[in-house]
Structure 1
Amino acid sequence: MRYIVIGAGAVGGTIGARLFQGGHDVVLIARGAHYRALKSDGLRLITPETSETLDIPAADGPIPTRDDDVLVLATKSQDTISALADWPTGLPVVCAQNGVANERMVLRRFEHVYGMCVWLPAQHLEPGVVAAHGHPYSGMLQVGCYPQGVDNLAGQIATDLGKHGLVGRAVPDVMRWKHGKLISNLANAVEALVGRADGMAAVVDRAKAEAMTVLNTAGIAYSTVDDERQVRGHKVDVRPIEGIARGGGSSWQSLARGSGSIEADYLNGEIVLLGRLHGVPTPINEVLQSEANRHAREQLPPASMPLERLTALIDARCAAGSR
């Protein structure tokens, strides 16, 4: 089986590197300077224990495919459709992405779709370089069929992931896990906007409480902290790497790169969408979605918004009522 990792940034690069180290056939798909660095010098994977350059095959777009190929999609949600546009629709696709909308989008064109719940603290530092801060494993990955179930391929993917540096688990309820991860990812916009300012946790807690009300009203199951604690018999700690300052999460990194886009529509915006469908006000996540998109559009740096300003906007929106 060959793994084609589409979007070889922080998450995709780490997954591809660990699969390659486990002896699997891997191709990394990247663009621009990152692709050129991968092609000429290989992928440099830095962890708390090691720094290793891996000569993993790379391409900047679709390649001739084989019957045993598996596409691992690790792009941001806003890039899902364009990233898969030119790939054969008969191949299985694993959505190794935040949010819960990707699998449904992909299922419109691809028959065999798998969800992957990713907990993998990493950052894409510069072209050709990925730092993975997890220890003793780089990440924990639950994989299952979409919308539910486990088949032989899901089991094989989980086994392959677990061969080197990752914990892979095949689960029949992968979307329950991804909805639980969605709740935790609501903090991404807060961190991107205000950084790790004192008092940011209060805003995060309000956004999460609002989301749980929405999901409960909609009858959507989600994993809890207790579920995660039971799984983390293989505990993953976040550790510093000498000489590398650890920035923020994926949304923070989007602002830091000045990419012009951010994933808030598929994180906070997912809660807003569900709230509107089920008649639940979502003023907190509305503000976070709107402000994160504005900061990305205007290419403002991460942590450039005072916490007091964000809190004031949220309080005003709550007082006005959700439209």
Structure 2
Amino acid sequence: MRIVVLGAGGIGGTIGARLHLAGHEVGLIARGAHGEALRDHGLTFVTPEERVTLPIATYARPAAVAWRPDDVLVLATKSQDTEAAARQVVAAAGPDLPVVSAQNGVANEPALTRWFERVHGMCVMLPAEHLEPGVVVAHGSPTPGILDVGRFPDGSDDVDAALAEALRSARFESEPRGDIMRWKYRKLVNNLGNAVQALAGERLDGREAGEALDLLVGEAEAVFAAAGIDPVTQAEDDVRRADHLRLRPIDGAERGGGSTWQSLARGSGVETDYLNGEIAHLGRLHGVAAPANARIQTLMAEAAARGAGPGTMTPAELLALLRR
């Protein structure tokens, strides 16, 4: 099995790097300055233990890959890029290619079934950063992350088993799960604070930030109940994480913010429409108001449009806006 990763940022780059270091055949698809740096110089992969440059085969677009019957695609783009990526991949590789969504949110898997016969979900818990071209930083140690996989909409198959085995050999925690979307819905709830962190700073342990997060999560739970969605419980998620996700500083520096914080820092697009926006969307479909999630979705879109960096308001200012 060759594993081709489309989107070699923090998540995709770490997955590709760890699999490559474990001896697996890997290909990366990356665009822009980052893709150019990977093709010209290799992937600089930084962890608490080492800094290495890896000569991983990198392609500018799916059409440049000589696709094989044993390929599996791990899609690690932001959710707003899923449709464009899917159209390019299906044109190059066909609809029988197994596609694994290693993305936040829950909208990617149903979207991918428009083009692909075999769609899989991956629940990603992986603390990584991508802030400069050619460089990916992974703070998790000794386990870099938890990457459980399963078929969409449910079940698991030989692709899940083989991919999980490969990921375990690369030091990840990974298990095939027949109910992967229940785990991804819980991850969605845990991602609702990404926008709080990005707009109001790096930490969520202050009183006002905590109250803002409580507003967002409370709306999500009400929406899920109305929609008949049954995520795994927070207690189940805590057990799965256990003590696997330990973050260690690199060169004395702690990890910065999460993926949305990093997107604002890089000046790239944010995926809040598929996180807090998913709650607003489900609320509208099922007649449950979710004004705080809709409001923070708008605030994030405005911040991204004007090129604002992270931390443009205080937690108290954000909380006041969400309570309006």
Equivalent pair of 1:145/1:172 in contact (CA under 8 Å)? yes
- The match for 1:19 is 19
Deviations 1:132-185 (A, max 9, x none): 011111100110000000111111111111102211111000000000000000
Does residue 223 (structure 1) correspond to residue 232 (structure 2)? The answer is: yes
- The match for 2:70 is 68
1:209 is paired with a residue of what secondary structure?
A: helix
The one-letter amino acid paired with 2:7 is G
Match of 1:202 among 195, 211, 235: 211
Does residue 127 (structure 1) correspond to residue 133 (structure 2)? The answer is: yes
Correspondence 1:98-137 to 2 at 5 A? 98-137=104-143
2:170 is paired with a residue of what secondary structure?
A: coil
Q: Which moved more, 1:137-146 or 1:231-240?
A: 231-240
Does residue 287 (structure 1) correspond to residue 295 (structure 2)? The answer is: yes
Cα distance in 2 between the residues matched to 1:296 and 1:104: 26
Equivalent pair of 2:248/2:254 in contact (CA under 8 Å)? no
Cα distance in 2 between the residues matched to 1:244 and 1:69: 37
Query: Unaligned regions of 5+ residues in structure 2, if any?
Result: none
- The match for 2:102 is 96
Cα distance in 2 between the residues matched to 1:255 and 1:219: 34
Equivalent pair of 1:272/1:282 in contact (CA under 8 Å)? yes
- The match for 2:272 is 264
Pairwise CA RMSD of aligned residues?
1.3
Does residue 193 (structure 1) correspond to residue 199 (structure 2)? The answer is: yes
Q: Which moved more, 1:227-236 or 1:181-190?
A: 227-236
The one-letter amino acid paired with 2:43 is L
Equivalent pair of 1:148/1:173 in contact (CA under 8 Å)? yes
Match of 1:212 among 221, 231, 234: 221
Does residue 253 (structure 1) correspond to residue 259 (structure 2)? The answer is: no
Cα distance in 1 between the residues matched to 2:14 and 2:124: 11
Match of 1:305 among 298, 301, 313: 313
Cα distance in 2 between the residues matched to 1:120 and 1:99: 15
Q: Give the Å deviation of 1:115.
A: 0.3
Deviations 1:216-273 (A, max 9, x none): 22110112221123223562212211154522111111111111x2101100000001
Equivalent pair of 1:5/1:26 in contact (CA under 8 Å)? yes
Cα distance in 2 between the residues matched to 1:216 and 1:102: 21
Does residue 174 (structure 1) correspond to residue 180 (structure 2)? The answer is: yes
Equivalent pair of 1:176/1:222 in contact (CA under 8 Å)? yes
Deviations 1:17-76 (A, max 9, x none): 111112111011111211121112211111112212111110110112001111110000
Cα distance in 2 between the residues matched to 1:108 and 1:116: 18
Equivalent pair of 1:167/1:234 in contact (CA under 8 Å)? no
2:169 is paired with a residue of what secondary structure?
A: coil
1:85 is paired with a residue of what secondary structure?
A: helix
Query: Unaligned regions of 5+ residues in structure 1, if any?
Result: 317-323
- The match for 1:84 is 86
Task: Give the TM-score taking structure 1 as reference length.
Answer: 0.94
Q: Give the Å deviation of 1:205.
A: 1.6
2:175 is paired with a residue of what secondary structure?
A: strand
The one-letter amino acid paired with 1:80 is T
Cα distance in 2 between the residues matched to 1:166 and 1:159: 9
Cα distance in 2 between the residues matched to 1:314 and 1:43: 40
Percent identity at matched positions? 50
- The match for 1:235 is 244
Equivalent pair of 1:11/1:122 in contact (CA under 8 Å)? yes
Query: CA, structure 1 residues 83+243, in 2 after alignment: closer, same or farther (shift >3 Å)?
Result: farther
Task: Give the TM-score taking structure 2 as reference length.
Answer: 0.94
The one-letter amino acid paired with 2:138 is A
